Structure 1
C-alpha cells in the first residue's frame, strides 16, 4: 500500500510540475516581440481567415449538392490563410539576422502560429485530396473530416498568435492588449465552429422535444433521459468554448466588464448567422446573457491577484449567461421540455464546470510562479 501511495504521489507530482511549466511566466527570450501595429495587421489577416471559415460553414449548413472544392467560400478561406502565412513569414524575415537560425527570428509568441501555418497548408492539400476521393461532406460529417480538423487546429494556432505574444509580455500598456483580447476570442470562435453541433446558440432544438399529431402543430413534450444527457453535454461544451478564452485572459490581466460580455456575445451571434438566422430570436437572448455576464464582472471585479473573486466570476458567468436562454426558449415555445430540476441543474453544472477549471488553472499558475521564483533565486 505505501508503494502504491508513493507511486501515485510521484505521478501527481509530475503532473503538477507539467502544469506549473505550462503556466509559468516565460523567461526572457531571444525572440523579438511584435509591435501594436504588427499585432493589428495579424488580427486583420486572422479575421479574414475566420470569416472564410464561417462562410464555408454557412455553405455546408445551408446549401446542398456541394460537389466541388473550388467554391467562393473556399476562396475566402484560403486567401485569408495566404494573408496570414505571408504576414507571419514577413515578420520572421524582418527579424532575421544573418548568421543566426531562422527559428530565432520568429517573433515572440509566434512559434505556434508558424507551426499552425505548416499544419494548415498540409491540411488544405489533404482537404483537396479528401474531397476528390470522398466528395463534399455535409452537416456533422464535415466536422469529423480529418482534413477539416487539421485546418481548424492550424487556424486556432494562427489566430492565437497575438494572445500568445502578449502572454510573453504581460506588462504591455492597456491599448496594446486589445489585439490579445480579440485574438483569444477569435481562437475560441474556431473551437466553437468545429464543435458547432454542440453550439447551443446555433439552434434551440437541443433542449426541446416535440411531438406532432396529424393536422396539429408540433407540441412540446417530455424529453427522454438520453436527450437530457446529450443536452447537458452540449451546454458543457458550449460553456468551455465560450468562457475558457475569458478565463485565460483573466489569469493574466484584469478585464473591463465589457471584454467578457463581448467575448461571449460575438461567437454566439456568429454561430446563429452561420445557420442563416434560423432562430433569429435567439440574438436578443444572447445580448441579454452577455449583459448579465458583464454585470457579474463589474460587481465581482476579478483580478489575477484575487483568486476567490476570479473563481466566483468564472462560476457565476455561465449561470447568468444560459439562464436567459432557457427563459427565451420557454417564451418562444410556450413551455420547456425540461423540468425545473433539469434546467436548473444544467445551469449549476455549467457553473461548477467553470469553477473547477478556474480552480485548477489558478493552482497551476501559483505553482508556476513559485517555480519561476525558485529558479531565479538559484
Structure 2
C-alpha cells in the first residue's frame, strides 16, 4: 500500500547485522592500532580500509530498497523499512564525519591513547555508527520469534554494546590484566588529585557493570532473553578488551568468557523479564556479583594476593549493589518500541 512503511524481512535484517559485523571488525582493528602502534602517522591504513568499506557495504544495503521505493514514487518515512529510518539519516551523517575526521587528522595529527575517545569527529562517527548498526534491533524489537531467528537483533544489540564499552574504555575494568589489578589493589588510596590506580580500576568496575548489565536488562525488558545472548555479549566484551591491550592477558580474556557462561546460567535460572520482580532484582544483583567474584578469583590465583584485602573482596559487593540499584531504576515493565 502506498505510503505505508514495509517491515524488513528476516533476510534483510540478517544481512544488515552481518554487514555490521564487518563494520565492527574495522572498529576493533582501528582501536587496536591506535592503542598499540605509537608510530601511527597516517589516515590511510588497512584498518581504516576495513572500517570504511564496512560502512559502504552497510550503507549500500540500507539505501538500495529505499532507492527503489523513491523511484516508485514513495516519499518521506515510507521509503525506509520499519526501524531503518534513523539508520538512513545516520548514514550520510557518518560519511560527512568521515571526511571531517580526515581533515582533523591532517590538521592535528593522529590521536593516541585516551585522546582518540574525545576527538569530536570520532564521537560523531561512533554515534552515527551506533544508529546504523542498530537498525535490526529497532526492526525486530516488537517481533520476538525465538530461536535462531533472533540472531539479527542479537548481533546488532551486541555491537551497540561494544560501541558503548569502546568509547568508555578509560572506565573499562575488563581491559586490565591480573598483574596490573594486583599492583594497583596493593596500595592504600593516595592523596586526592594523585594518579590513584586503585580508584581508576574500582571506578572502572562500576562503569563496566553499568554498561554490560544495562545491555542485558534492556534486552530482558523485551521479554525472555534469548539463549546465547549473555555469552555473545561477554564474548564481544572480551574481544574488545583484549584488542585495546594487544591481547596481553589471555587468562583475563578466557575468564571473561567463562563469566559469560555463568551469566547464561543466571538468565536461565532467574528468567529476568518474565520471572517477576523478585527474579528481576535478584538478577540485577547476582550477575555483577558472580562475574566480578570470578575475575577477582582469577586475579588472585594467577597473579597473587592484593595486599589491601578490602579492595578485592569488596569490589564484587559494590558491583552487586550497583546492579541491584540499576535493576530497580530500570524496572521490569516492558518498554515501548523505539521508532
State the partner residue of 1:241. 211
Residue by residue over 1:205-249, the C-alpha shift from the partner in whole angstroms, topping out at 9 and shown as x without a partner, is: 663336xxxxxxxxx732425443322221121122222222111
| Deviation, structure 1 residue 43 | 1.0
Query: Shift of the alpha carbon at 1:305?
Result: 6.2
Aligned partner of residue 181 in structure 2, secondary structure: coil
1:345 to 280, 303, 314: 314
Aligned to 1:354: 323
Aligned residue number for residue 11 of structure 1: none
Distance 1:228 1:131, change over 3 A: same
Are 2:174 and 1:201 equivalent residues in the alignment?
Answer: yes
SS of alignment partner, residue 65 of structure 1:
coil
Deviation, 1:198, is 1.9
1:56 paired with 2:26, answer no
Aligned CA distance change for structure 1 residues 234 and 151 (closer, same or farther; 3 Å)? same
Task: Quote the residue 1:156 is aligned against.
Answer: 130
The alignment status of 1:271 with 2:245, answered yes or no, reads no
1:184 aligns with 2:157: yes
Unpaired runs of 5+ in structure 2?
191-195
1:139 aligns with 2:139: no
CA distance in 1, matches of 2:150, 2:220: 12
Q: Give the superposition deviation at 1:289.
A: 1.5
Mean Cα displacement is larger for which, 295-304 or 154-163?
Answer: 295-304
State the distance in 2 between where 1:298 and 1:274 align.
Answer: 31
Secondary structure (helix, strand or coil) at the match of 2:222 reads coil
On the 8 A contact 2:87/2:133 being kept in 1, the answer is: yes
Q: Does 1:313 align with 2:283?
A: yes
- Give the TM-score taking structure 1 as reference length: 0.80
Secondary structure of the residue aligned to 2:100 is helix
d(CA) in 2 for partners of 1:306 and 1:94?
A: 46
- State the match for 2:49 in structure 1: 75
Change (3 A) 1:122 1:329: same
Q: Deviations over 1:235-285 (max 9, x none)?
A: 121122222222111111212453213322332133213422111111221
Residue matched to 2:220: 250
Counterpart contact for 1:319–1:348, Cα < 8 Å: yes
Greater Cα radius of gyration, structure 1 or 2: 1
Give 2:193's aligned residue: none
Distance 2:235 2:306 in 1: 24
Output the TM-score relative to the length of structure 2: 0.89
Q: CA–CA distance in 2 between the matches of 1:80 and 1:41?
A: 12
- Aligned ranges 1:74-93 → 2 under 5 Å: 74-93=48-67
Residue in 2 that maps onto 1:107? 81
CA distance in 1, matches of 2:4, 2:288: 40
Q: Distance in 2 between matches of 1:127 and 1:176?
A: 37
RMSD after superposition: 2.4
CA contact (8 A) 1:209 1:223 kept: no
Partners of 1:289 and 1:338 in 2: CA distance: 24
Q: Is the Cα–Cα contact under 8 Å of residues 208 and 338 in structure 1 kept in the other structure?
A: no
1:284-295 pair list within 5 angstroms: 284-295=254-265
Which aligned segments of 4 or more residues in structure 1 are displaced greater than 6 angstroms? none
Contact 2:171–2:200 (CA<8 Å) still a contact in 1?
Answer: no
